[in-house]
Amino acid sequence: MKKLRCLCLGLTAALAISLGGAASFAQGRLHEGEESAAKDRPWMNPQLSPDERAEMVLKELTLDEKIDLVHGEGMPGWPGKVFPKAYLGNGGAGFVFGVERLGIPMIQMSDAAYGIRSSADNGRYSTALPSPIASAASWDPQAACEYGALIGRELRAQGYNMTLGGGTNITREPRNGRTFEYLGEDPVLAGTLVGNRIKCEQGQHVIGDIKHYAVNDQESGRNEVNAVIGKRALQETDLLAFHIGIEIGNPAAVMCSYNAINGDYSCENKYLLTDVLKKAWKFKGFVVSDWGGTHSTVKSSAAGLDNEEPEDIYYGEPLKKAVQEGKVPVAELDDHVRRVLRSEFASGIVDYPRKRSVVDVEGGLETSRQIAEQSIVLLKNDKGVLPLDRAKVRSIAIIGTHADEGMISGGGSAQVDPPGSVAPAWKAHVWFPTSPLKAVAAKAPGLSVKFASGADPAATAALAKQSDVAIVFVHQWSSEDYDLPNLSLPENQDAMIDQVASANPRTIVVIESGTAVTMPWIDKVSGVLEVWYAGSKGADAVANILFGDVNPSGKLPMTFPRSEADLPHPREVIPSPSMLGKAAVMATGEAKPTFEVHYDEGLKVGYKWYDAEKKAVLFPFGFWLAYTSYAYSELKVKAGKQTTVTFTVKNTGSSAGAEVAQVYVALPADAGEPPKRLVGWSKVKLQAGESKEVTISIEPAYLSIFDEGSESWKMVPGSYSFMAGGSSQDLPLVEKVMLK
């Protein structure tokens, strides 16, 4: 029996690692010939700390130079605006002037949720990774690290030195158009994965960020909505994910969101930006607004916003004037500037200047495929229809729009340019040229593999009937600035699946989506794969799963409900046209939201809602199937300053695989919590018949609740039930422990 420890980095240990890593970015030796320059510019000495270097530069700056560092200089294509200095940018999301005379470089930013956007503008290729929600389905911190490292390398190769990825908002509302950009419904899972992504992204000497801080849980009316939520619920759900991600990844920037929270817009919300982020969490980086998310000068500055993007409406001349008139203290401006400078030094963009290079296309494609294979979730597999047996299956029907050409991706600012194409329109449906038809045919030489788009129902049903197996590729497109009206498959695809399954019960459905989907046909089909937005090599990954060359190990990072009626907010809050456009302006000149969403479910997000309300689900959080089976035994809980949970996992099947072993805990009744919460996991690789002992260390914060009175985390004394198993609803091992 082998012993294995959890790969997940806890808050305390990860904080030490990430802080040390951040400091090491700026370390190194001066290049030959730079010693004399360093005498004139002592801040260029990489042996000094980022804080020391930033303070030295700050003392050299003029007021105009300080103002230049706290706002953007425009973004190509920004609606209704022409920026005369845009030619200095890199064709991305915008840029911030440096201070050339002092050796401070410009910050060149690019959207990079799952690959570099607008790469075509500067003649560079980008790898499309599986979407972040797919990455979350891998439950693998190391895969998250590889994800971030690839994006960091390609950013630098394309001439950028700041990423605008790092989406972390937990899935409170699955119809949110940006669910695919985020990492699921649990704060521990989301925070751990985004932290590891950011840590390795910044390891490539780029400024990393985490976003959208906070409660950006709907896109329709995002500029006008006020999210009303209790402080404890806010801290234990949305903010916990950010806190974990920041402590593990130590990002150089935090992006505040468009929406308001409890009456104040995020980018001018003192509780969020100063009281929590900068004081309680001791965040040393800078806060950057979402694009056009700044609403004021004096209020935003006092609240803790450090940098306005993508222009200078509030942080250009108005901020300079406010400083000169004493409305914004010089010390307050200096804090904004110091944070930007510190982040430039800490991330390494000063010591490792931008230098364009050739993107490693083959390496990127290989990484994308491997992550996709870990992310695909097998949801149904009746009578062992999968993996496909080449000795028994002689004919395969590939059915679905574009299944002969490509696989769909998510829209908005996350959209990665498809190879050989100009940057797509804002809400264009983009299909990456990764063909399921070709990938399946390549895996099945000698077999009959035929295609039908589904446009002709009779012809499609006929092809399905004459084939041994029918594989139906369906999609659900989603995008920034747009919420889904429901979780159904669009374009009459449910009816198409029904028709195919009626013609051939050996029907396998492959779902390309960015969130949960409803499945009225689930009882009629034999197999279901959730493949998310699968990236540049998605088709190859799917084919490898279908034929068993890869044993599926992905698990759901979010609950799939039976219908919208089971959601905490059954009717989606879509504002009326009169609410949209611009936020209302008060007599003071400040903007204010025009409608509210009340998150009365509070702590009950995702699986915690379904547990507490005793609602049946289509597929639970953490669910999966594999081509093997696993057994759990010998649970032991050792309480202490760091509680540890130890148990054994055995592969009881006939093929090698990887099991995501999960640990949940039920807090004492006095805590007033949902029935259980995820507190740790480990992805365990096992050969057929092999057993491993797994030990998972539980962070004290994960066993605590947020006390509003003292503004702190506290443990409630009493009986804690620790549970281990394969999903949130498959927990065969339970042990109760009294904790003080």
Tell me which residues are annotated as active site.
290
Spatial separation of the C-alpha atoms in residues 489 and 494, rounded to whole Å = 6
d(CA 555, CA 477): 21
Distance, CA of 325 to chain centre: 42
Other residues' Cβ atoms within 10 Å of the Cβ of residue 518: 18
In the chain, the amino acid numbered 68 is D
Helix (H) or strand (E) holding 320: helix 317-324
Name 508's bridge partners. 471, 527
Are 319 and 297 within 8 A, CB to CB?
yes
> CA gyration radius for the chain?
26
Number of Cβ within a 10 Å radius of residue 556: 26
Share of the chain residues as helix, strand and coil, in percent rounded to the nearest 5: 30, 20, 45
CB-facing half-sphere around the CA of 73: CA atoms within 13 A: 20
CA atoms within 13 A on the CB side of 731: 21
Instruction: Please state at what angle helix 141-157 crosses helix 361-375, rounded to 10 degrees.
Output: 150
Under a CB-based contact definition with an 8 Å cutoff, are residues 665 and 724 in contact? no
Residues, the chain: 740
Q: 213: burial class by Cβ within 10 Å (0-12, 13-18, 19+)? A: buried
Residues 6+ apart with CB under 8 A from 82: none
- Judge residue 710's burial from the number of C-beta atoms within 10 Å of its C-beta, 0-12 exposed, 13-18 middle, 19 or more buried: exposed
Tell how strand 286-289 and strand 448-452 pair up: unpaired
Q: Taking the alpha carbons of 333, 338, 339, 343 in that order, is the dihedral positive or negative? A: positive
The closest alpha carbon to 468, from 522, 511, 507, 509, belongs to 507
- Write out the two tokens for 35: 């010693």
In the block, residue with structure tokens 């409630």? 716
Phi first, then psi: give them for residue 608, nearest 5 degrees: -65, -30
**Any idea what DSSP says for residue 730?**
B
User: Dihedral, CA atoms, 635, 639, 641, 645, nearest 10 degrees?
Assistant: 10
Q: Is 349 exposed, middle or buried (0-12, 13-18, 19+ CB in 10 A)?
A: buried
Q: Where are the alpha helices (DSSP H) in 430-558?
A: 436-443, 457-466, 493-503, 538-546
b/e per residue 353-374 (b: at least 16 CB within 10 A): ebeeeebbeeebbebbbbbbbb
CA 237 – CA 214 distance, rounded (Å): 10
The strand pair at 469-476 and 507-513 is best described as parallel
DSSP 16: H
What is the CB neighbour count within 10 angstroms for residue 637? 22
* Residues 737 and 637 sit within 8 Å (Cβ to Cβ): yes
| Residue at token pair 């494609």 | 365
